[in-house]
Amino acid sequence: MSREQEIRSELFDHTLNGHAPEVKALTEEGLRLGMDPMDILFKALIPSLEEVGRRFERGDFFVPEMLIAARAMQGALVILRPLIAETGAKPIGKYVIGTVKGDIHDIGKNLVIIMLEGAGFEVVDLGVNCPPEKFVEAVRSNDPHIVGFSAFLTTTMPMFKVNIEALKKAGLRDKVAVMVGGAPVTEEYARLAGADHYAPDASIATRMAKQIVGAAQAAENAALAQAVELIDKTLKKG
Ligand code: B1M
C-alpha cells in the first residue's frame, strides 16, 4: 500500500473516531506529498462522516460521537478551504446561503460554499438555524442571483416552503433563484416546496449556480439588445 493510500485510510479511521490532531496532521502530510485536496475530501473525509451516520442509525454511535467526528473533519476543512476556494478572480455572481431554522448541521453547507467560492462566486453565509426573516433581509440587502437553503433533517425540510413564502410576502421571490439541498432532500420534494433548483451535492450545486448566472446574464444581454433596438427605431422615426 502506498503512503497516499495509507493516509486516506488513516484519515477515514481518525475522522470516524474524532481524533482531530491526527486528522489535521495527516491532511497536512497528504498535501505535502502532493495529494489532491478534493481527493482528501471526497475519498477520505466525507466517506468517513457517511460511516458515522450509518453507525448513528444502527445505534452504535450517539450525538457526542457524531459531534467529535464533525469537529475533526472541520479541522481538516480549515486547511483545505484556501486550496479549493481561492481563485483571486473577479466574482462571477452572488450567492446567499444558510442552513434553515431548527437545523444546526453546517459541514455540507460549508462545502457548498467552498466550492462556490472556488468557482468565483461571492458568497454571503448566513450560518445555521437561520430564520426566514434573516434570509429575506439578506436577499433584500445583497440582491444575489441565487439564495440557497440547506436542510439536513426531515423535520426541517418544511422550512423551504416557509422561506419561499416569506420571500413572496416581501415581494422578492421573482428577483432571485431559489436552490435547495441537504442529505434528505429530493428533487421531487424541492419541486413541491416551490424551489427553482435542487442539487444533491456541492459540485452539482456549483455547476448549476454557474448555469443560473449564465442564463441571467444572457437574459440581461437580450433585454439590453431589445432596448437598444427600440431606441434605434425611435431615433429613426424622429
Ligand atoms: Co446529525 N443527523 N443530528 N449531527 N448528522 C444526520 C443528518 C442524520 C442523517 C444521521 C442519521 O441518522 N443517519 C440524521 C438525520 C435523519 C433525518 O432527519 N433524515 C441526524 C440527526 C437525527 C441529528 C439529531 C436530531 C440527533 C439528535 O440530537 N438526536 C441532531 C439535530 C441537531 C439539529 O440540527 N437541530 C443532530 C446533530 C448532529 C451534530 C451536531 C452532532 C453533527 C453536526 C455537526 C455540524 O454539522 N457542525 C451531526 C452530524 C455530523 C451528522 C452526520 C453524521 C454527518 C453530516 C455531514 O456533515 N455529512 C449525518 C449523517 C450523514 O449525513 N450521513 C447526520 C457530510 C456532508 C459533506 O454531507 O451534509 O449531506 P451533507 O452535505 C452535502 C449535500 O447534502 C449537499 O452538498 C453537501 C456536500 O456535497 N448540500 C447541498 C448541502 N447543502 C446544500 C445546499 C444546496 C445544494 C446542495 O443548495 C442550496
Tens-digit pLDDT profile for residues 6-46: 999 999 999 999 999 999 999 999 999 999 998 999 899 99
pLDDT at 223 over 80: no
- CA-closest candidate to residue 93, choices 123, 125, 121: 121
Window from 95-104, 196-205, 226-235 with minimum mean pLDDT: 226-235
Give residue 222's pLDDT: 78
Ligand 1 shell residues, CB under 6 Å:
46, 49-50, 52-53, 56-57, 63, 66-67, 70, 97, 102-109, 111-112, 148-150, 152-154, 179-184, 199, 201-202, 205
Q: How far apart are CA 177 and CA 139, in angstroms?
A: 11
Give residue 216's pLDDT: 77
Structure-block grid coordinates of residue 170 = 416581501
Torsion on CA atoms 213, 216, 221, 222, rounded to nearest 10: 150
Where would I find the H helices in the chain? Answer: 3-16, 20-32, 37-40, 46-58, 63-85, 107-118, 132-142, 159-169, 187-193, 202-237
What are the C-alpha distances in Å from 216 to residues 135, 196, 222, 225?
21, 14, 10, 14
Q: 61-113, pLDDT tens digit by residue?
A: 999 999 999 999 999 999 998 888 765 667 889 999 999 999 999 999 999 99
Q: How far apart are CA 237 and CA 30, in angstroms?
A: 69
Please tell me the distance between residue 11's alpha carbon and the centre of ligand 1 in angstroms. Answer: 20
Structure-block grid coordinates of residue 157 = 425540510
Q: 116-153, pLDDT tens digit by residue?
A: 988 889 999 999 999 999 999 999 999 999 999 999 99
- CA-closest candidate to residue 77, choices 103, 125, 113, 123: 113
